[in-house]
Amino acid sequence: MENIDPVPLNLIGTAREPGRGAAVAAQHDPATGSSRPIYRKADTAQVAAAVQAAQISDWGNSTPAQRIAALSALRDQIATYSQDFARIISREIGAPIDFARTAQVGAALSHLDATIAAMPAALREEELDGAEHRIRFEPVGVSALITPWNWPLNQIVLKLGAALAAGCAVVLKPSELSPRTAGLLVECCLRAGIPPGAVNLLIGDAETGAHLVRHGGIAHISFTGSTRAGRQIAGVAASRFARTTLELGGKSANLLFADCDLETAIRQGTAHCVRNAGQSCNAASRMLVERPIYAQAVALTARHMNEIAVDLPDVPGNHIGPQVSSAQYLRVQQLIAQGIAENARLVSGGTGLPDGLTAGFFSRPTLFADVTPDMEIFQTEIFGPVLTITPFETEEEAIALANATPYGLAAYVQTTDPVRADRVSRALHAGMIQVNGTSRAQGAPFGGVGASGWGREAGLWGIRAFQEIKSISGAAAVRT
């Protein structure tokens, strides 16, 4: 049995209590495969109690100044415990410790900074044609935050910061694979002075989340996870007109035109695909390359893929770690095997463990070339360090290939022609476009279209997701 921090207790209002439901499925250390302690999930009565605690919270009546102060204090607490967060994230999901510290914790802090910066604008009334015609932005109500394991701190902070900024009390249900990260964050909330009931924590699995989604006291569901689960949540929420924000899967295309800086595009594109062991919804997992540079691009990409190190999570350095679970590892292995069976050209990697590793859920960085849209590895989100390359002849074909999946989360364009960059960006069916390796600005909206979900997170747009819009005409605001 692995030695790991205990699973946190549920936090329901002021009460801390263990789950009273059934045991969650068996869990294992991603790096070794050794068993982890089993725990019991929250039952339906605890779900109902958590929603009630949020309903009676007075957080919605807090002032903008109080909310800004609370989130600023929370930011300070996360920074204070950054090393603890990095250690827990590394142990829970297998992220290399340096990556956990700089990328996983760093992203959470950056996004919370963006939320705090957006709060004055998000909480300010707007006037239309004079003071007696105004727009108010009010809390949507009690919100369920159902978060994934792959970026376990960042994905909670994106939702939690925005919800609290808007004045919404929340019930947080993190992934059963990363409850300890959520537990430490909730402790930071309490240390930051966020009052009891404003943040409630339920420890459990998909069944726990389903109970939460079905509860009539939930006004808004913010979910990050699979497209399949998102579709189910949308159906349940629609039956009672509950608001949903859904950040789902992706199969993002990276378009390389012949005039791009090929070495830089390949280096950045390969790294983007495999970071976090390929377990990011916006991973640039489909590389589309213009025919004149195709052979060179395949060779360069193979070189970079072969240079990617795979190692244990507790080893310092720039390498990737394991998949999070046995189920995820088997999925990656099956899709690699499927690519081989479909006669995609296996350029590097393949099935099985990387050299030098004999246990755990580690995948080999794998590159397929000559991949066509009818192949499953072109269409299906693999969520592992697997990159496909497909040639194109014309700009129109590149756009068609990029848009040829149900997803629409992100896309990437590499060209030195600014006119083409703008034209192609407009034509791509995706919520986020990044050109020539440019990172998104802090506070830029995060989200997609199609099977990648709807709604946006981060910055002002993230807060707006937790607000109702009210128009008032004939009564100017009375300041007290």
Residues assigned a catalytic role: 247, 281
Are residues 234 and 203 in contact, defined by beta-carbon separation less than 8 angstroms? Answer: no
Burial class (CB in 10 A: 0-12, 13-18, 19+), 58: exposed
Are residues 406 and 450 in contact, defined by beta-carbon separation less than 8 angstroms? Answer: yes
CA 263 to CA 257: how far, in whole Å?
A: 12
Give CA angle at 24 (19, 30), nearest 5°.
125
Among 56, 91, 317, smallest CA distance to 184 is for 91
Half-sphere exposure (CA, 13 Å, Cβ side) for 407? 30
Measured in degrees and rounded to the nearest 5, phi and psi for residue 8 equal -65, 160
DSSP assignments along 269-302, one per residue = HHHHHHGGGG--TT---EEEEEGGGHHHHHHHHH
CA 396 to CA 400: how far, in whole Å?
A: 6
Burial class (CB in 10 A: 0-12, 13-18, 19+), 133: middle
Which contiguous run of DSSP H or E holds residue 450?
strand 449-450
In sequence order, which residues have a C-beta less than 8 Å from that of residue 321 and are 6 or more positions away? 30, 31, 94, 95, 96, 99, 277, 310, 311, 312, 313, 362
CA 346 to CA 199: how far, in whole Å?
A: 48
Enter the DSSP assignment of 178. Answer: -
Are residues 185 and 89 in contact, defined by beta-carbon separation less than 8 angstroms? Answer: no
Are residues 150 and 324 in contact, defined by beta-carbon separation less than 8 angstroms? Answer: yes
CA 479 to CA 124: how far, in whole Å?
A: 13
